Amino acid sequence: MSNEKVPPSIQKISLGDVRDILIIVGIFLFFTGWVYIYFFYNYFGLSISLVNISYADYLVYSYNVLTSYFGAPLLVLVLLTFAYRKWLIKFISMTIFLAVLLFPALYLLAKQVANKNAFEIRSFRQTMRHISFVFKEDADFLAYKFNNDSLPRSNKIVKADLDILKDTTIPSRLYLLGQNQEYFFVLFQDPGSSQIKGIPFGNVYFINKTYVLYSKVTLTSN
């Protein structure tokens, strides 16, 4: 009975190899997702600590980065994973060097994609979720029994804000960015004019949930 050795080129991947690859890929995915979410909400003036984000969300949002530019980042990551399994696993120093270089590359890519997507959301708002609110009777100025026109003329900005927040037109002019236990974070974006280049000013509102009787999210057909 011969004791022929299996050529290295056709050796099977062990569970240890799978574990190592998953750990490495998971680290890069988590890092990429975290950077993306940070700069996406930072664009709207929101701290990432304000929004309810789970660890799984970071991995999911990394998909936005990896599939950008026709999936080129995802292809590069797959090729690097294959190269690690095939060659780099034998050269620890080279593997560490490439891994260190990959972090700033993913950082810059995730930041660029996050800002680009945030800008596109303001430009093409049909991709967002419309949200409208019905406020409680004791919600101070937000209560419907309060007449917005009773405000002094010097409070034009406050009156305009109240008109926007209390508007129950369907679909709503408010767009849901995120939420936590205490607040809804919503965007109001003036559509502007097609004759004027650029995007008009937008407003991000923090809606205290204690003032809300109920909220309604309207999904678009896109």
pLDDT tens for the chain, 222 residues: list them. 455 554 554 456 667 667 777 887 888 899 999 999 999 999 999 999 899 888 889 999 999 999 998 888 888 878 877 776 677 666 666 667 777 888 999 999 999 999 999 998 888 765 678 899 999 999 888 988 888 888 777 788 888 899 999 988 877 889 999 999 999 999 998 876 666 667 788 899 999 999 999 998 887 665
Contacts of 152 (CB under 8 A, 6+ apart): none
First vs last C-alpha separation in the chain: 66
How far is Cα 174 from Cα 58, in angstroms, rounded to an integer?
25
36 in Cβ contact with 65 (< 8 Å): yes
Strand partners, 132: 216
Neighbour-count burial of 66, counting CB atoms closer than 10 A to its CB (0-12 exposed, 13-18 middle, 19+ buried) = buried
Domain map (residue ranges) of the chain: 8-123, 126-218
pTM for the whole structure: 0.79
Residue type, 67: T
